[in-house]
Amino acid sequence: SSGARVPVLVIGSGYGGAVTALRLTQAGIRVAMVEMGRSWTAPGSDGKIFCDMLNPDGRSYWLKDQTDAPVSHFMGAPYNKAIPRYTGVLDSERFAAMRVYQGRGVGGGSLVNGGMAVVPKRQYFEEILPDVDADEMYDVYFPRANTGLQVNSIDPTWYNSASCYQYARVGSSQANSAGFKTVSVPNVYDFSYMQRELAGTAQRSALASEVIYGNNHGKQSLDKTYLAAAAATGRLSISPLHKVTAVYPAAVGGGYTVEMQQLDTSGKVVANKTVTADKVFFSAGSVGTSKLLVTMRSTGRLRDLSDAVGEGWGNNGNVMVGRANHMWSPTGGLQASIPVRGIDNWDDRQHPCFAEIAPFPAGTELWISLYLAITKNPNRAAFTFNPTTGRVDLSWQGSWSGPSITAAANMFNKINSREWTVYRTDLFGGNKTWGDDFTYHPLGGCVLGEATDLYGRLTEYPGLYVTDGSLLPGSTGVNPFVTIAALAERNIENVIGNDFG
Ligand code: FAD
């Protein structure tokens, strides 16, 4: 409540925040967590908590009048539709030349993501974070994160025959024919539950086109894993629909003043609150944390923050693309929304690319193969506070996706020429082949060892910490949440050991 003083305040309930909250509460420390999105526990009038991708309603998007789907067009026609304005679970936050998709709600990105739980290649991890002890990461913290996240793998025998993964088998064998290696990708979706979905003995979720607007069943999102475990200690309180707007040193008694707005589900501010915290953990995600910190630096409230705050943002080299298959290569009318297979060409020195074979769960046969490619794009953007608009800008330029397209085209041109197929140019609007103006994987803005010390401390302000994807320098080479969670495990262990007396 307003005016309260708390030992620890965590801003945001995604991976960085959830890991931090669990380890702090287990160490006996009370944690107050503030999350701008809803708590997704109460069903709507249809009895469901989340809506599916084929029938989006207000629950789909964060305060928008229209859906803003990544695949925005179909057969050249716009695919988006009007929805009531509501604090929905998926945000597509627009900057000048980049849309950033993010989860909004207790659980952050885990509510909307595909659940792919990938440990990066060790050699690449050492390249992006050379000052982090890789032995420790691979021996201790990656396994710890995988356990905490309840990662599991699909049974290969079931995968080989399940109708809902025909699209993955088609995508995989086409990649193999073109000379590329494919790999099975672990996930946090409970595959034994999915088997029951297909068998008809459990309510469908992955098999009912649910994923980016939330899964009603099957997915072990953070609210069911890390956050549930933290809550079970009795030391965690979560305030949903509370958005932090400012953090600065408290005038009296040490610690930090945290200003926040309480929102209703139409996004209206219903109360302004101020809390004082001895320690504040920024876990608002790459965009959320970077925006808050650059604003605080520019407006003089945390004026001594390093110049590196706001720098080093990348999109993990994300680019999306679709291919049109022949009539004799159907991808299946029933497609599991949870991806389980990747094309792994990361070791190609010239064109490293790790592409997830993505579903196109339209509920009908479309002969489309869709991919989300992760590439090694060297371009990095910066967040800056714009005093004229009072908002934060991101300097990413449209042309900066060029290196990602080149690397992905190296893969998919080969598959197309081997299969005698072409790209779909009707999916992203304006005859575009490449979905290159949006990302699912915002990373950086507060890079470990540059904007913070090697454990996420904002050293200019003792008691302020960064825990989320903003610590990663713009790229992980794979889907990022396992890396974010493992790094958070490592950092909080050090912080608990040294900063709590
Ligand atoms: P987040 O998970 O984004 O959490 C930040 C939280 O802070 C959010 O809940 C946000 O609402 C809250 N917040 C922000 N600002 C404020 C504020 N001012 N006040 C209060 N609260 C605030 N990654 C994978 O590894 N595998 C996948 O399969 C995968 N699929 C994806 C699919 C989609 C559609 C999307 C959007 C992402 C996907 N990702 C995937 C990426 C993954 O979800 C993110 O990398 C991850 O969630 C980032 O974790 P985080 O802790 O940095 O922040």
- Pocket test residue of 10, 291, 441 for ligand 1, highest count of atoms within 8 A of CB: 441
- Take atom 53 of ligand 1 and give the residue whose Cα is closest: 285
How far apart CA 339 and CA 330 sit, in angstroms, is 17
Just list the catalytic residues: 356, 441
Q: Is 485 in the pocket of ligand 1 (CB under 6 A)?
A: no
Q: What are the start-end ranges of the E strands in 359-471?
A: 368-375, 383-386, 391-394, 422-423, 434-435, 438-439, 464-466
Helices (H) and strands (E) in the chain, counts: 11, 21
Are 354 and 345 spatial neighbours (Cβ–Cβ below 8 Å)? yes
CA angle 301, 304, 310 (to 5 degrees): 85
Query: pLDDT tens digits for 474-483?
Result: 999 999 999 9
Q: Is 34 in the pocket of ligand 1 (CB under 6 A)?
A: yes
Asked whether residue 225 carries a pLDDT value surpassing 80, the answer given is yes
Mean pLDDT (whole number) for 222-232: 98
Confidence of residue 354 (pLDDT cuts 50, 70, 90): very high
- 209 φψ region: left (φ > 0), alpha (ψ -120 to 50), beta (else): left
Distance 108 CA to ligand 1 centre (A): 5
Query: pLDDT tens digits for 128-137?
Result: 999 999 999 9
Q: What is the pLDDT of residue 23?
A: 99
Query: pLDDT tens digits for 443-478?
Result: 999 999 999 999 999 999 999 999 999 999 999 999
Q: What is the pLDDT of residue 1?
A: 76
In this prediction, what percent of the chain has a pLDDT beyond 70? 100
Q: HSE-up of 484 (CA within 13 Å, CB side)? A: 33
**Helix, strand, coil percentages in the chain from 3-state DSSP, rounded to 5:** 30, 25, 50
* DSSP code string of 110-174: GGTS--B--PPPHHHHHHH-TTS-HHHIIIIIHHHHHHHHT-B---HHHHHH-GGGHHHHHHHHH
Confidence of residue 2 (pLDDT cuts 50, 70, 90): confident
- Take atom 14 of ligand 1 and give the residue whose Cα is closest: 284
DSSP state of 326: P
Query: pLDDT tens digits for 25-67?
Result: 999 999 999 999 999 999 999 999 999 999 999 999 999 999 9
Q: What is the pLDDT of residue 394?
A: 98
Q: What is the pLDDT of residue 491?
A: 99
- Kindly state the tokens that stand for 471: 């610590």
Are 19 and 489 spatial neighbours (Cβ–Cβ below 8 Å)? yes
- Residue whose C-alpha is closest to residue 469's, from 442, 449, 494: 442
Asked whether residue 103 carries a pLDDT value surpassing 90, the answer given is yes
Distance 177 CA to ligand 1 centre (A): 35
Confidence of residue 430 (pLDDT cuts 50, 70, 90): confident
Mean pLDDT (whole number) for 425-451: 96
Distance 14 CA to ligand 1 centre (A): 6
Q: Is 369 in the pocket of ligand 1 (CB under 6 A)?
A: no
Are 79 and 69 spatial neighbours (Cβ–Cβ below 8 Å)? yes
Asked whether residue 72 carries a pLDDT value surpassing 90, the answer given is no
Mean pLDDT (whole number) for 204-222: 98
Burial class of residue 494, CB neighbours in 10 A (0-12, 13-18, 19+)? middle
Distance 102 CA to ligand 1 centre (A): 5
Q: Is 88 in the pocket of ligand 1 (CB under 6 A)?
A: no
Judged by average pLDDT, the poorest of 63-77, 118-132, 187-201, 341-355 is 63-77
Query: pLDDT tens digits for 293-350?
Result: 999 999 999 999 999 999 999 999 999 999 999 999 999 999 999 999 999 999 999 9
How far apart CA 286 and CA 239 sit, in angstroms, is 21
Q: What is the pLDDT of residue 77?
A: 80
Asked whether residue 176 carries a pLDDT value surpassing 90, the answer given is yes
The Cβ of residue 422 has, within 10 Å, a number of other Cβ atoms equal to: 11
- Take atom 47 of ligand 1 and give the residue whose Cα is closest: 109
Are 280 and 260 spatial neighbours (Cβ–Cβ below 8 Å)? no
Helix (H, G, I), strand (E, B) or coil at 350: coil
Q: What is the pLDDT of residue 73?
A: 87
Q: Distance of CA 149 to CAs 197, 202, 462, Å?
A: 22, 22, 30
The residues, ordered by sequence, that sit 6+ positions from 92 with a Cβ below 8 Å of its Cβ are 61, 62, 64, 68, 99, 100, 101, 438
Average pLDDT value over all residues in the chain = 97
Mean pLDDT (whole number) for 363-372: 96
Are 278 and 463 spatial neighbours (Cβ–Cβ below 8 Å)? yes
Q: Work out which ligand 1 atom sits closest to the CA atom of 18.
A: 51
Q: Work out which ligand 1 atom sits closest to the CA atom of 116.
A: 28
